[in-house]
Chain A
Amino acid sequence: MSTQQIIFLVLSVISLVCAMGVILSKNPVSSVLCLILTFFTIAGHYVMLNAQFLAVVHIIVYAGAIMVLFLFVIMLMNLNADIEPQKRNWLKYAGAISGGTLLVILVAALRDASMPSLQSGATEIGLIGNLGKTLFNHYVVPFEVSSVLFLSAMVGAVVIGKKEH
């Protein structure tokens, strides 16, 4: 078993366990923390896949911004395990079974797919220079549009969050 596979396994196990923690923990704060851990392992996977820039952005955006926002909202609402709304048990089982069935089916569907395997060597593709060239050569318009999207999201958030008079 190569080093890469060992790292992959370790990261995968951590991310899966943390993901389970997100959905199973009763306390929303620990859910958020678990999710942050999951995001860190995913960033690790990004590095493994030679997507260094994305890994960094991922940590900054998700762990640094989005999850903090979540945490902030949860703290603000003062949510904790005691007031956490619980579904009836049979509904939970139904949800779990549905999700499990989806898992089984997707695995069954993709089990026999033949795809080129990943090389252990490094590629330059995920470096910031390469990505920048691609982004600004081919995807300038979507990039600019996304700035508009941000603007509108910001305006929307302000409008929604504003107290009504």
Chain B
Amino acid sequence: MPVQYYIFLSIALFCIGVMGVLMRRNAIIIFMCIELMLNAVNLLMVAFSKMWADAGRIDAAAAQIFVFFIMVVAAAEVAVGLAIIVMVYRNTHAVDINILNRLKN
């Protein structure tokens, strides 16, 4: 099975994530779309790992370690990110990112 299949799947998932970020205003949905994009990349990484393992490279496991670390970072990110969103919600009673236009000043 060609590895391209996984590549295209990953691209599709990633682009869906991008579209989500662009189309939605709900901060939580945007956050979820970011997770989706992360997973698209993870999937691609694992596919490459398999590809190199099949080609006989012994260090192919490094890619899976990377995926592992990405998950670690993602978990930490979610913890902090959700805390921020909760904080914002508590102050503004909304999760609409258009309210958060204070970056201007």
Asked if A and B touch directly (CB within 8 angstroms), the answer is yes
State the A residues within 8 Å of B (CB).
Answer: 2, 4-5, 8, 12, 15-16, 19-20, 22-23, 28, 31-32, 35, 38-39, 42, 45-46, 49-51, 53-54, 57-58, 61-62, 65-66, 69-70, 73-74, 76-77, 79, 84-87, 91-92, 94-96, 98-100, 102-103, 106-107, 110-111, 113, 115-121, 123, 125-126, 130-131, 134-135, 138-139, 142, 146, 149-150, 152-154, 156-158, 160-161, 163
- Knowing that A54-B64, A95-B21 touch, tell me 18 more A-B residue pairs with CB under 8 angstroms: A16-B9, A19-B13, A20-B16, A66-B35, A84-B26, A85-B26, A85-B94, A95-B23, A99-B16, A100-B15, A102-B18, A111-B4, A117-B51, A118-B50, A134-B65, A149-B72, A158-B83, A160-B84
Quick one: closest B residue to A150, CB to CB?
B76
* Contact residues in B for A49 (Cβ distance below 8 Å): 6, 46-47, 49-50
Quick one: closest B residue to A106, CB to CB?
B11
Q: Pick from B8, B14, B75 the residue with the most CB of A within 10 Å.
A: B75
Contact assessment for B36 and A125 in the assembled complex, using a CB-CB cutoff below 8 Å = no
Closest 9 CB pairs of A and B: A95-B22, A99-B19, A23-B20, A153-B76, A103-B15, A157-B83, A85-B96, A85-B25, A95-B23
* Contact residues in B for A57 (Cβ distance below 8 Å): 68, 71
A33 to chain B, nearest CB (A): 11
Choice from B23, B60, B79 contacting A153 with Cβ under 8 Å: B79
> How many Å lie between the Cα of A161 and that of B91 in the bound state?
11
Q: From DSSP, what is the main secondary structure of chain A's interface residues?
A: helix
